[in-house]
């Protein structure tokens, strides 16, 4: 089975909504009364109908859409470039000429679509057919393409030859005039979709291309077996946690109209569910992603006197995702609170990182604290996380965690019953509550710090040197 096209996601799929609109316009052009006037094209001794002049087309577009000359010319030009209409006298010149040069409509099979990309196999068949017809006289770029395709889809080459021969022979069953017209159409299609390169690349473009390819080679690649194994492992691990695949425990709120599931899994709920707490043990990033997990972890770190690490990490996240206007002041605050020598909540990072960060802070931006943040993250992951999972705080949380029971659906199948639609609290209110909680937390820390600093001054203990390995810092 051939992978026809790698879907890279919406970012790489250009929006082609205009295709349908152009097609509607094209159908209107066919109207015998109000469409474009048709002439016949004379080819040697035969007449082929349905040719139109560029001027007629331009005039029709201007009249139908009520637009200016330039706009109509541009639109007509685009129609030719996309392959809806092809020129008869100069096939390679894909522009709309407003004199009496003739154009014809392309058959709907060859219209541009997003679904069916112009395929290599089809192109190879076309080139082979052309080879048979012209007895080996292909153009230079076509010969190159032919050789490249021979190597690229070599396993299909026998089929390509067979199909090309058959298509060539089948073509003979049609009227000679039709065969000629069809050949022109196919040629026009491939001129649009495999445009011949008219001039070699300029120096700058070539240099850019070389740089791009060099960088692409240097990108680290992972064996697909490894990445697929990782994906399988992830799916197996998280499968029970997924509410869509494994069902969600009190009941699915969308089905039963019962928001208990959301209540139980609120951001900072008092007692989290068992599944949620177990999830924290799978992975450090899972713990950090969950606000309740972070709260619990913070409690633990405070007991170990390394709470400033998590505080710093959260402050960095706030800097990264917060307002652009507040970046400078936030960065300064973080420096004063965590990084300056003798700071209140000084974090322990190595000399080089500190140097980089301090230098970066001269011109602060969102990501200036990235290096320090990563360092602290890895420190927490390697050091504190393991101890957290064995700590009584975590174990207590796990024991207290609730396992919601599956509720029996209250069978009110009466469609006319009035449903109680409870609205969840407004996000504005939720955010206000969060800010209040944060402020309270900060105030609490400040109080303790002031108390402790008073105690320090009284006992006149010299402050331990900042370069200490362990971060026992009373605050």
Partner 1 sequence: MVKEECKALLDALNKVTACYRHMVLTIGGTSDSQNLREELKKTRQKAQELAVANRNKLTTMLKDKTVSKEDRAEFERLWVIFSTCLEILEIDMRRALELGQEFTLNVPKRHLIQTGMSGGTSGVAARAMSVQNMKYEADHNIDVVDLKDLENEINQVGEMMYEMEMKVSVPQWTVEAKQDPGAELKSTISVGASSIGMISVEENKSFCDISKVLAGIIFTAVLIIAIVLAICVVKLS
Interface residues toward partner 1, by CB under 8 A: 1-2, 23, 26-27, 30-32, 35, 38, 41, 48-51, 104-110, 115-116, 121, 128, 131-132, 135-136, 146-147, 150, 154-159, 161-167, 169-171, 173-175, 177-178, 181-182, 185
Write the Ramachandran bin of 44: left for phi over 0, alpha for psi from -120 to 50, otherwise beta.
left
Please identify, using beta-carbon distances, which residue of 47 and 246 lies nearer to partner 1. Answer: 47
Q: What is the DSSP letter of 38?
A: P
Query: Cβ 374 to partner 1, closest distance in Å?
Result: 42
Query: What distance in Å separates the CA atoms of residue 105 and residue 108, rounded to the nearest whole number?
Result: 9
Query: What distance in Å separates the CA atoms of residue 290 and residue 307, rounded to the nearest whole number?
Result: 17
Query: Cβ 103 to partner 1, closest distance in Å?
Result: 11
Gap between the terminal Cα atoms of the chain: 65
Please identify, using beta-carbon distances, which residue of 114 and 208 lies nearer to partner 1. Answer: 114
Please identify, using beta-carbon distances, which residue of 147 and 246 lies nearer to partner 1. Answer: 147
Tell me the CA distances in angstroms from 234 to 217, 242, 247, 264, one per residue in order: 28, 12, 18, 25
Asked whether the beta carbons of 112 and 84 are under 8 A apart, the reply is yes
Tell me the CA distances in angstroms from 287 to 66, 168, 365, one per residue in order: 61, 65, 27
> What would the two tokens of residue 370 be?
């990235």
Query: Cβ 35 to partner 1, closest distance in Å?
Result: 7
Which residues share a beta bridge with 39?
Answer: 51
Query: Cβ 139 to partner 1, closest distance in Å?
Result: 15
Please identify, using beta-carbon distances, which residue of 178 and 383 lies nearer to partner 1. Answer: 178
Please identify, using beta-carbon distances, which residue of 163 and 241 lies nearer to partner 1. Answer: 163
Please identify, using beta-carbon distances, which residue of 51 and 331 lies nearer to partner 1. Answer: 51
Query: Cβ 224 to partner 1, closest distance in Å?
Result: 15
Query: Cβ 413 to partner 1, closest distance in Å?
Result: 35
Phi first, then psi: give them for residue 13, nearest 5 degrees.
Answer: -100, 110
Asked whether the beta carbons of 350 and 339 are under 8 A apart, the reply is no
């Amino acid at each position: 089975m051939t992978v026809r096209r790698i879907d890279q996601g919406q970012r790489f799929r250009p929006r082609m909504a205009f295709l349908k609109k152009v097609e509607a316009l094209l159908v209107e052009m066919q109207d015998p009364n109000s469409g474009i006037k048709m002439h016949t094209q004379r080819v040697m001794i035969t007449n082929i109908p349905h040719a139109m002049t560029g001027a007629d087309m331009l005039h029709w577009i201007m009249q139908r859409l009520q637009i200016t000359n330039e706009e109509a010319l541009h639109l007509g030009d685009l129609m030719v470039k996309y392959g809806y209409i092809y020129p008869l006298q100069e096939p390679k010149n894909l522009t709309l000429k407003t004199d009496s040069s003739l154009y014809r409509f392309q058959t709907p099979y060859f219209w541009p679509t997003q679904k069916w990309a112009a395929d290599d196999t089809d192109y190879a068949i076309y080139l082979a057919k052309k080879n048979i017809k012209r007895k080996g006289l292909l153009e230079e770029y076509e010969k190159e393409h032919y050789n490249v395709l021979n190597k690229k889809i070599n396993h299909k080459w026998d089929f390509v030859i067979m199909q090309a021969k058959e298509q060539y022979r089948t073509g003979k069953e049609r009227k000679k005039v039709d065969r000629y017209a069809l050949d022109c159409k196919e040629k026009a299609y491939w001129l649009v979709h495999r445009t011949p390169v008219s001039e070699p690349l300029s120096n700058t473009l070539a240099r850019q291309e070389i740089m791009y390819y060099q960088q692409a080679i240097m990108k680290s690649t992972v064996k697909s077996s490894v990445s697929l194994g990782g994906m399988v492992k992830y799916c197996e691990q998280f499968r029970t946690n997924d509410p869509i695949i494994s069902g969600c425990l009190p009941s699915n709120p969308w089905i039963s109209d019962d928001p208990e599931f959301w209540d139980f899994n609120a951001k900072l709920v008092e007692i989290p569910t068992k599944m949620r707490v177990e999830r924290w043990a799978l992975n450090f990033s899972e713990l950090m992603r969950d606000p309740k997990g972070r709260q619990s972890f913070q409690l633990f770190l405070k007991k170990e006197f390394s709470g400033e690490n998590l505080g710093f990490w959260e402050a960095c996240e706030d800097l990264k995702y917060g307002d652009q206007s507040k970046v400078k002041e936030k960065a300064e605050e973080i420096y004063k609170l965590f990084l300056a020598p003798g700071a209140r909540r000084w974090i322990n990072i190595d000399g080089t990182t500190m140097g980089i960060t301090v230098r970066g802070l001269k011109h602060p931006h969102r990501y200036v604290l990235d290096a320090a943040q990563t360092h602290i993250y890895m420190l927490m992951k390697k050091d504190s996380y393991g101890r957290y999972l064995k700590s009584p705080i975590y174990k207590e949380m796990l024991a207290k965690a609730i396992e919601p029971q599956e509720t029996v659906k209250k069978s009110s199948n009466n469609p006319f019953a009035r449903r109680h639609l409870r609205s969840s609290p407004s996000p504005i209110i939720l955010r206000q509550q969060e800010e209040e909680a944060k402020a309270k937390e900060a105030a609490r820390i400040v109080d303790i710090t002031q108390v402790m600093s008073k105690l320090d001054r009284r006992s006149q203990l010299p402050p331990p040197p900042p370069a200490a390995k362990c971060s026992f810092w009373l605050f």
